[in-house]
């Protein structure tokens, strides 16, 4: 069983501030140029000449930023109005100036939730920069590892047996770790003390699932539990004590993110590490959770905090404060890839989240218009991409055949 260390995070605050003030959070791009033998003057013309959006017939939009040299950066279009904003802010500027073009330091932006459009811009620019120097983005950021252990991440299924069946299949396919997303909104009649009316979750059923999965897969598999913030403090404590007993390695988002006092109470009472952060919508709100010892492992979704730039800031903040970081993954190859690059460039990231289907285990993430897939290897790890930029190439012919139109 994991034993919690009682060393206060406060002792890291002064060193954190010093580190953040004295060095770059993202890792300088110039080491990447040194690896290729390129000088800054050898870079192609990265002035942005065009922005557009590909609109597939099947839904989902792909943003495009194109430079004078013809290098194109892509990511899923997030939020509404990205194209109009990108026309005003990107065209005529150099894609190399990512920090200037993606910064949210100005006061109005620090006070409010970050616009999704900032994420789209940031990731398209990182994709361009990687392609310009001929390296995957994680190497531009400063590579730390070449593979990351995958955990299978379940859907919110219904029954104990559904979870057990999937857990056993995931184990048979080489996964070394599994995360449970338990049922939500269950109204199964229970004694008055059993139904968590404040959280909207049948936590007693969740406890049955927690026990059954551990008994089915054995002691060697790493297990994580993520109710996605639906428990009350009471239910979270009940479930957390069972997670301790059954040697789970993560209790993610047990209660609503804004209940910082509840997180402090849980962290002080339980051994299982507390993970949270994917429902924080600005990088500037993480610090209070660290300062108050409310979390063991920070999470983030790049779409919420400004893309790869924001994700790496959170990962580095966690690192200098002695915390692990566990980025979220869910969705397409693009979604998985951007978090994967942050993990590969960080010494304190140990997991890659591989989303699962409801009925069968999957070890591959595919997208219809992509040439490449993301694959969990037989040893349970996902290995770094070798192609430049985001590392997973669009099949331009397939994408063109799937388009309803291109927005310009």
How far is it, in rounded angstroms, from Cα 308 to Cα 150? 20
The more confident residue out of 387 and 8 is: 387
Q: In this model, does residue 110 exceed pLDDT 70?
A: no
Note the pLDDT tens digit of each residue in 30-42: 455 566 666 667 7
Q: In this model, does residue 15 exceed pLDDT 60?
A: no
pLDDT (0 to 100) of residue 27: 39
pLDDT (0 to 100) of residue 10: 42
Note the pLDDT tens digit of each residue in 220-275: 999 999 999 999 999 999 999 999 999 999 999 999 999 999 999 999 999 999 99
Beta carbons of 223 and 190 less than 8 angstroms apart: no
Beta strand 222-225 with 274-276 is: unpaired
Q: Enter the pTM of the model.
A: 0.88
How far is it, in rounded angstroms, from Cα 30 to Cα 271? 42
How far is it, in rounded angstroms, from Cα 210 to Cα 194? 16
How far is it, in rounded angstroms, from Cα 102 to Cα 81? 16
Give mean pLDDT, residues 317-345: 95
What is the per-residue burial (b if ≥16 Cβ within 10 Å, else e) of 321-356? bebbbbbbbeebbbbbbbbbbbbbbbebbbbbbbbb
Q: Domains in the chain, ordered, with CATH? A: 9-13+141-383 (3.20.20.120), 29-135+395-407 (3.30.390.10)
pLDDT (0 to 100) of residue 116: 79
Note the pLDDT tens digit of each residue in 113-158: 667 788 999 999 999 999 999 999 999 999 999 999 999 999 998 8
- Token pair for 28: 């300088």
Sign of the Cα torsion 202, 208, 212, 215 reads: positive
pLDDT above 90 covers a percentage of the chain that reads 74
pLDDT (0 to 100) of residue 34: 61
Instruction: Spell out the SS3 assignment of 314-381.
Output: HHHHHHHCCCEECCCCCCCHHHHHHHHHHHHCCCCECEEEEECCCCCCCCEECCCCECCCEEECCCCE
Q: How large is the C-alpha radius of gyration of the chain?
A: 22
């Amino acid at each position: 069983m994991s034993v919690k260390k009682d060393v206060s995070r406060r002792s890291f605050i002064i060193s954190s501030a010093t580190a953040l003030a004295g060095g770059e959070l993202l890792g300088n791009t110039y080491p990447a140029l040194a690896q290729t033998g390129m000088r800054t003057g050898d870079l192609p013309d990265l002035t942005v000449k065009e922005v557009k959006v590909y609109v597939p017939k099947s839904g989902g939009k792909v943003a495009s930023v194109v430079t004078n040299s013809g290098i194109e950066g892509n990511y899923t279009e997030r939020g509404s109005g990205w194209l109009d904003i990108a026309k005003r802010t990107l065209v005529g500027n150099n894609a190399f100036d990512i920090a200037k073009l993606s910064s949210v330091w100005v006061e109005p932006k620090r006070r409010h939730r970050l616009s999704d459009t900032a994420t789209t811009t940031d990731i398209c620019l990182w994709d361009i920069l990687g392609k310009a120097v001929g390296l995957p983005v994680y190497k531009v950021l400063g590579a730390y590892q070449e593979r990351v252990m995958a955990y299978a991440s379940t859907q919110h299924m219904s029954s104990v047996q559904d979870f057990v069946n999937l857990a056993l299949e995931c184990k048979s396919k080489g996964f070394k770790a599994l995360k449970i997303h338990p049922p939500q909104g269950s109204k199964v009649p229970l004694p008055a003390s059993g139904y968590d009316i404040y959280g909207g979750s049948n936590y007693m059923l969740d406890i049955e699932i927690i026990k059954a999965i551990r008994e089915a897969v054995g002691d060697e598999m790493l297990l994580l539990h993520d109710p996605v913030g639906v428990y009350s403090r009471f239910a979270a404590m009940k479930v957390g004590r069972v997670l301790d007993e059954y040697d789970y390695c993560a209790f993610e988002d047990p209660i609503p993110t804004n209940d910082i006092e509840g997180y402090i109470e849980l962290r002080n009472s339980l051994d299982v590490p507390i993970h949270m952060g994917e429902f924080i919508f600005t990088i500037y709100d993480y610090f209070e959770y660290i300062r108050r010892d409310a979390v063991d492992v920070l999470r983030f979704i790049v779409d919420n905090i400004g893309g790869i730039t924001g994700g790496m800031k959170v990962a580095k903040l966690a690192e200098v404060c002695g915390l692990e970081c566990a980025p979220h993954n869910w969705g397409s190859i693009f979604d998985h890839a951007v978090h994967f690059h942050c993990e590969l460039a960080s010494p304190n990231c140990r997991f890659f989240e591989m989303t699962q289907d409801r009925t069968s285990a999957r070890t591959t993430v595919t997208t219809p218009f992509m040439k490449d897939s993301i694959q969990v290897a037989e040893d349970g790890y996902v290995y770094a991409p070798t192609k430049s930029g985001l590392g997973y190439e669009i099949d331009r012919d397939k994408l063109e055949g799937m388009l309803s139109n291109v927005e310009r």
